[in-house]
Amino acid sequence: MTRFILQRLAFGAVVLLVLSSFVFFLFFVAPGDPARMIAGDKATEAQLQQIRTNLGVDRPMIEQYATFIGRAVQGDLGYSYRNRQPVAEIIVRRIPATLSLVIGAVVLWLAIGIPIGLMSARHPGSLRDRLGQAFILVGLSFPTFVLGMMSLYLLYFLPKQAGFTLFPAGGYKAFSRDPLIWAWHLALPWTTLALTMAAFYARLTRGQMLDVMGEDYIRTARAKGLSERKVVWKHGMRAALTPLVTQLGADIALLLGGAIVIEQVYGLQGVGALAVQAVNNQDRPIIIGVVLLGGLFIVTANIVVDLFYVLLDPRIR
Amino acid sequence: MTGTGAPTGEEDGAVVQRGSLDLTLRRLTRDRAAMVALAVIVLVVAMAIFAPVFASLTGHSPITQFRDTGLSPMGIPVGPNAEFWLGADQLGRDVLVRLAYGARVSLLVGVLAACCASAIAVIVGTTAGFFGGWVDLALSRLIDLVMSVPFLLCALALVSVLGPSLMLSVSVIVFFSWAAMARVIRGQVISLSRQEFVQASRSLGAGPLSIMVVDILPNLTVPIIVYTTMMIPSAIVFEATLSFLGMGIVPPTPSWGGMLADASSNSLYLVAWWMVFFPGTALLMTTLAFNIFGDSLRDALDPKSLRTARRLKRDRKGAAK
Amino acid sequence: MPILQVDGLTVEIPTEDGTVHAVRDVSFSIRQGELFGIAGESGSGKSVLTQAILGLLPTAEISGKVLFDGRDLIGLPQDELRRLRGKDIGMIFQDPLSSLHPFYTIGAQIAEVLHTHETISRQDARARVVEMLGKVGIPDAASRYDDYPHQFSGGMRQRVMIAMALIMRPALLIADEPTTALDVTVQEQIVALIDEMRREFGTTVILITHDLGLLASVADDVMVMYAGHRMEYGPAANLFRAPAHPYTAGLLRSSPANYSPGADLQPITGRPPSLLELRNACVFAPRCAEALPACASATPPLRVFDDKTQSLCWLPDGARRQPATEPAARVHAAAAATVAAPVVEARDVRLTYTIGSFLGHKRQHEVLKGIDLTVHRGETVGLVGESGCGKSTLARVIAGLAPATGGTVSLLGRDLTSLDRAEWRQMRREVQLVFQDPFGSLNPRRRVGSIIGDPFRLHGVAAGDARKDKVRQLMELVGLNPEHYNRFPSEFSGGQRQRIGIARALALNPSLIICDEPVSALDVSIQAQVLNLLRGLQRDLGLTYLFISHDLSVVRHVCNRIAVMQGGKIVELADSETLFAHPQHPYTRTLLAAGKTPPQMTGERVRNLMPTTEVGP
């Protein structure tokens, strides 16, 4: 068991190392002079040189990378080129918005996706199954930003033109100030994200459930005289939903690293929006920071999922 | 072992084989949803091919700005009218013509990226699954690694450094979408390699290349076709998303994602709904058509996949002892 | 009053290909406390029958009458059927591993039955489950309550299933191929346990199996099914001694256990009919050696005899009863073989796997522990043992597909380890394999012609029309229609696929053919066809076989010498007849005792046709 965890940790460290060196060297070979970006066009050569020395960008590549890694493990990701604030601080300030978005959406998409998948799988070929499959196909095909723009138009703009405010256009309001306002502002982003993800989870659940319901142990459960509800909900679900944990872990981690599109559409000041801004501003330390944070989330999620799996599936113990 | 598949025409020398291709086509043509989806796909392809026709018909090139006729005096784009059939955008360009040219980008990126990604996936997956051992370990870890990367963030970082371009979009999409399919192919190859017909070839002295090409690849055609078809819509969405974030196709080249981004900037679409409605619908219909077609294709190619698999499993159990 | 009375039961299952007529007009009745056997090959409808009456096949259309304890089960609401299941009727299935839920402990799974059918506290339920586990022979039951199915061996899992089926003390236990997935010695224990439980609880048992020997040893009454029809029905003793239906007689004759030295088996020719079409004729007629003109044109009548056997057949006196096989002059290959040159010599062959990844500690797993075996030209050596004894591994080592970690294997006098790449490839011509699984051993995407032609292609022997001719000759040799050259494997039946596999193995005139359980996936009547083919080919072509099987009776029929393997060692090696007559090693004796053989047909007619009005419609 310990060995297993150590293996996973070691692999996680490798992933982060590869990821950081990828981004770091990417920016190193990239054209463009960070000093020029900070100082602007009017700066003299001496000023630029001064800035380069301060940033350390005139030193050899390997040395810079080593310094960067050394600081990164202590939580120091450097300073933004734009406003000279610590990168870690800037990112941390953005986390609540992304976290709020993801938590609500996860609950919602599981609540929508799994029942639809189950309903669809219970009676394959029936009308309900076909409706479920239609939901799955449409949901999978909807690009998130198109759905977002559509819901903004229908649920924010049209009511507003009619003279009342059904939903706000977006923006993030802190939970601590007023939970109701917080939820009201996040309602549209939650639904948008949840609907596209729900389709994916419905498909996954449907496939799993169809497989499991054909297993011999389901026949045994029926032969024992269990009610159909118990056969499906206890024996079927347990086996069908366990593999979903892997997918869920990966998806949560990916979104925590920045629900880029949703944040962009709804103007949420989360990590994803920060990444887009940083890219537009060529603020490289922030880009590196956000990518590393995203990688960290995924690596952590993988390990957590593996541990969960050990709890859920006795065969792995 | 049951009485299924009784031979027809036992005595007839020239047995007419109803090939699997023929059967697949039969099943597919009977599927109404698949035919509608195919019609939509054909329509989009036609739109892409005949994009210049739209341009000459309306007299509008996709990148020319008609600020006098396409924009109201207040600078608001005009809606669908006799001159701009599907309206104009914020710079007074013809939405219809841009839509047609945008189809070229979407299809090109979608098909190209899906094919490249599936080629990589097949090569990596079969190599890992077939050779096993250290090769498998290394390649599996590589797959894990690629799947552990926050791909949209990395794509943004890459584009921000190298500058957006069509080729870069395709490469980024390929790089981040082959891994999932490679994992599936690897699993399939591993279970195929354990089959006795592979052992039979091996015991006859067949080399690894011969086994891969003759024994394993033909059995992978169904998953390869299905996965590649299913990858096309995700690649199209991926490209549109990149363009939407301003990291994909370089303006003023029209692309659906870029058109939606134009509509979204300054919330312009709230007053000019056609700027989001037409490209949005085109994008949705295309991906939906590909998804439906992929689903139907899978059912048609492998109609009893679930059932056959289960029957085989049970037979083998019975055979075990 | 019979506990279960079935009248005119018909089950039809709608599928994509059409309606499968799985069970047609079947009647029988079972007395309280009886062990009732249902025999039949795959596709006979024996499992569908019981699952359908219990409501486990929701899509099936069922008609007829099924009286259980005086209540008609057909048309009973699902909810009432459900209450019967587990409480009044318990079931056990073929594969105990897949039949138990992998995520719940066995104790919880058994206790669930109690909680479903009665109100009982957790402690009481646990106590009763532990008691039951003890009864079915799970050692240390109290502590194993919280173990998961994967922590048990196959036999123990089936015991758990039995405990689960009997925990409510049901009046009826349906055992659907309960021993098929188990080793021979374990099979015997499970059958003994079912019999013991039946006596202890007074449970009535329906035993469904393809194994006639098993039924002959325990069943009171037996029903023989074929293609959904009840062919023969009656007391086990009468039925097996003198079968009235040609199908039953044919099954007994084709069983390798019913054997007289040297003779060919008498297989039932042909293959089972499709269940999709209904014909107004006897379903068995196309394969029946005694068919009358009426058989093909009208539904046969029910013949009732005075010894309580019934047969669905046009023959007024029942099947012809000749001795099982005609004693033929035995081809004494064994005597000649001892002087013939050895094809394969294995000396002290060892194989050890090392398990454990590069980070963990390594464990050694010794599969073969010093095997000595010589196979001479022209003889057949049998390799018998239970699963996990290393017999298939040994075959792979001898075939040169897996290197031994110790000892030497020499083929035609050449040490396999000394070969270079080209020589090894050349050596591939000399050893060929015939595999167990008729579905997995042929590439489903390739035509039969190219599959059989593969050896020629890979060794560059013949090309073009020459290759095609050779393939056609091979197909003819193994009894396939050469015109079917262009078909895919899926268009052939299991037995035909094994013939294709044999043709492929013959292509290069190998010195040794290793048959790895070549008939264990086939039905008895088809098995005999394949075994006869193998023997005939050996006679005609002077082949040498290494024949691997878990089934002693199959091996006895085809082999000159038999090696019994246990735990990676050969514990006994002797001439077939010597081994059967005077087994030396205790394990051989256990194996021999465990194998159930159906009784020999005596040939004396002991019954008379009863006057009856019950003539088929």
Whether A81 is in a domain gets the answer no
**pLDDT at C224 > cutoff 60:** yes
Shortest CA distance from C385: residue in chain B: B321
Whether chain C has a CB inside 8 Å of the CB on B217: the answer is no
Shortest CA distance from A14: residue in chain B: B145
Q: Domain count of chain B?
A: 1
Question: What are the extents of the domains in chain C?
Answer: 334-440+511-594
3-class SS at C16? coil
Q: Which of C83, C150, C359 sits opposite A225 (nearest CB)?
A: C83
- Cα–Cα distance measured from residue B292 to residue B19, given in angstroms and rounded to the nearest whole number: 24
Q: Residue B252: is the preceding peptide bond cis (ω within 30°)? A: yes
Task: Give residue-wise pLDDT tens across range B57-82.
Answer: 877 778 777 777 777 777 777 777 77
Quote the domain boundaries for residue A308.
90-312
C contacts of A124 (beta carbons < 8 Å): none
Whether the CB-CB separation of B150 and A294 falls below 8 Å is answered with: yes
Higher pLDDT, C463 or C110: C110
Q: Which CATH number fits domain C334-440+511-594: 3.40.50.2020, 3.40.50.1820, 3.30.420.40, 3.40.50.300?
A: 3.40.50.300
Q: Domain count of chain A?
A: 2
Shortest CA distance from C150: residue in chain A: A315
pLDDT value at residue A202: 93
Q: Which of A216, A224, A242 sits opposite C95 (nearest CB)?
A: A216
Task: Give residue-wise pLDDT tens across range A180-219.
Answer: 888 888 888 999 999 989 999 999 999 899 889 888 999 9
**pLDDT at C126 > cutoff 90:** yes
Whether the CB-CB separation of C390 and C565 falls below 8 Å is answered with: yes
Whether A46 is in a domain gets the answer yes
Q: Which of B7, B203, B317 sits opposite C399 (nearest CB)?
A: B203
Whether chain B has a CB inside 8 Å of the CB on A112: the answer is no
pLDDT value at residue C486: 85
pLDDT value at residue A178: 81
Whether B312 is in a domain gets the answer no
Distance from CA of B18 to the nearest CA of C (A): 10
Whether A84 is in a domain gets the answer no
CA A130 to chain centroid, in Å, comes to: 30
- Among the three residues A22, A47, A74, which one is the final residue of a domain in this structure? A74
B contacts of A299 (beta carbons < 8 Å): 148
**pLDDT at C615 > cutoff 70:** no
Q: Do A263 and A137 share a structural domain?
A: yes
**pLDDT at A108 > cutoff 90:** yes
CB contact under 8 A, A7 and C359: yes
Whether A224 is in a domain gets the answer yes
Whether B13 is in a domain gets the answer no
CB contact under 8 A, A224 and C101: no
Q: Which of C272, C431, C501 sits opposite B2 (nearest CB)?
A: C272
Whether the CB-CB separation of C340 and C379 falls below 8 Å is answered with: yes
A-C C-beta contacts closer than 8 Å: 79
User: Of the ranges A57-71, C407-421, C565-579, which is most confident?
Assistant: C565-579
**pLDDT at C613 > cutoff 80:** no
C contacts of A215 (beta carbons < 8 Å): 98
A contacts of B158 (beta carbons < 8 Å): 26
- Any idea which of A18-22, A190-194, B50-54, C335-339 has the lowest mean pLDDT? C335-339
Whether the CB-CB separation of C576 and C555 falls below 8 Å is answered with: yes
CB contact under 8 A, A210 and B306: yes
pLDDT value at residue A246: 86
- Which chains touch A (3+ CB pairs under 8 A)? B, C
Q: Do A194 and A247 share a structural domain?
A: yes
pLDDT value at residue C355: 67
B-C C-beta contacts closer than 8 Å: 129
Question: CA torsion sign, C187 to C189 to C191 to C197?
Answer: negative
Whether B124 is in a domain gets the answer yes
B212 DSSP assignment: I
Task: Give residue-wise pLDDT tens across range C518-548.
Answer: 888 888 888 888 888 998 898 888 899 999 9
Which 83-142 residues of chain B touch chain A by CB within 8 A? 141
Quote the domain boundaries for residue B66.
32-305
- Cα–Cα distance measured from residue B260 to residue B277, given in angstroms and rounded to the nearest whole number: 9
Cross-strand bridge partners of residue C565: C570
pLDDT value at residue C335: 45
Whether B320 is in a domain gets the answer no
Going from the C-alpha of C576 to that of each of C140, C399, C557, the distances in angstroms are 41, 23, 9
- Which chains touch C (3+ CB pairs under 8 A)? A, B
Whether chain C has a CB inside 8 Å of the CB on B210: the answer is yes
Q: Do A251 and A141 share a structural domain?
A: yes
CB contact under 8 A, B295 and A137: yes
Average pLDDT, chain C: 84
- The mean pLDDT value for A84-95 works out to 88
Whether the CB-CB separation of B120 and B173 falls below 8 Å is answered with: no
C418, burial (CB in 10 Å: exposed 0-12, middle 13-18, buried 19+):
exposed
**pLDDT at C209 > cutoff 50:** yes
Q: Which of C433, C445, C522 sits opposite B200 (nearest CB)?
A: C433
Whether B5 is in a domain gets the answer no
User: Which of A209, B261, A220, B150 lies closest to C95 in space, CA to CA?
Assistant: A220
Whether B201 is in a domain gets the answer yes
Whether A80 is in a domain gets the answer no
Disruptive mutation site among C56, C97, C103 for chain A (greatest number of A CBs within 10 Å): C103
Whether B102 is in a domain gets the answer yes
**At a CB cut-off of 8 Å and minimum separation 6, what does C72 contact?**
C65, C66
Proportion of chain C above pLDDT 90, given as a percent: 24
**At a CB cut-off of 8 Å and minimum separation 6, what does B192 contact?**
B129, B198, B215, B216, B219, B220
Q: Do A258 and A124 share a structural domain?
A: yes
Disruptive mutation site among A2, A3, A222 for chain C (greatest number of C CBs within 10 Å): A222
pLDDT value at residue C99: 92
- In which band, very low, low, confident or very high, does the pLDDT at C29 lie, cut at 50, 70 and 90? very high
Distance from CA of A101 to the nearest CA of C (A): 34
pLDDT value at residue C612: 56
CB contact under 8 A, B17 and C487: yes
CB contact under 8 A, C103 and A226: no
Which 183-212 residues of chain A touch chain B by CB within 8 A? 210-211
- The mean pLDDT value for C5-30 works out to 87
pLDDT value at residue C6: 92
B contacts of C93 (beta carbons < 8 Å): none
- The mean pLDDT value for C10-39 works out to 88
CATH number at residue A215: 1.10.3720.10
pLDDT value at residue C14: 83
CB contact under 8 A, A150 and B147: no
Whether A317 is in a domain gets the answer no
Shortest CA distance from B207: residue in chain C: C458
CB contact under 8 A, B200 and C504: yes
Distance from CA of C26 to the nearest CA of B (A): 20
CB contact under 8 A, C491 and B318: no
Higher pLDDT, A43 or B257: B257
pLDDT value at residue C599: 65
What is the residue whose two structure tokens read 């499959």? A133
- Cα–Cα distance measured from residue A71 to residue A59, given in angstroms and rounded to the nearest whole number: 16
Residues of chain B with pLDDT under 50: 1-17, 306-321
pLDDT value at residue C132: 92
CB contact under 8 A, B201 and C454: yes
pLDDT value at residue C170: 92
pLDDT value at residue B114: 94
Structure tokens at A304: 């957590």
Task: Give residue-wise pLDDT tens across range C136-190.
Answer: 988 888 999 999 999 998 889 999 999 999 999 999 999 998 888 788 888 888 9
Q: Do A100 and A69 share a structural domain?
A: no
**pLDDT at C605 > cutoff 80:** no
Whether the CB-CB separation of C168 and C90 falls below 8 Å is answered with: yes
- In which band, very low, low, confident or very high, does the pLDDT at C563 lie, cut at 50, 70 and 90? very high
Which 25-64 residues of chain B touch chain A by CB within 8 A? none
Going from the C-alpha of C599 to that of each of B119, B197, C212, C242, the distances in angstroms are 61, 38, 9, 10
CB contact under 8 A, B1 and C522: yes
- Strand bridging mode C512-516 / C431-434: parallel
**pLDDT at C71 > cutoff 70:** yes
Structure tokens at C220: 């009171």
Task: Give residue-wise pLDDT tens across range C493-524.
Answer: 888 889 999 999 998 889 899 998 888 888 88
- The mean pLDDT value for C589-608 works out to 70
Which 255-314 residues of chain A touch chain B by CB within 8 A? 257-258, 260-261, 264-265, 275-276, 279-280, 282, 287-288, 290-291, 294-295, 297-299, 302
pLDDT value at residue C258: 64
CATH number at residue B198: 1.10.3720.10
3-class SS at C415? strand
CB contact under 8 A, B233 and A294: no
- Transcribe C229-281 into DSSP letters: EEEEEEEHHHHHHS-SSHHHHHHHHHSTTS--TTPPP-PPPS-PPPSS---SS
pLDDT value at residue C78: 86
Which 131-170 residues of chain A touch chain B by CB within 8 A? 133, 137-138, 140-146, 149-150, 152-153, 157, 169
User: Of the ranges A17-31, A148-162, C87-101, which is most confident?
Assistant: C87-101
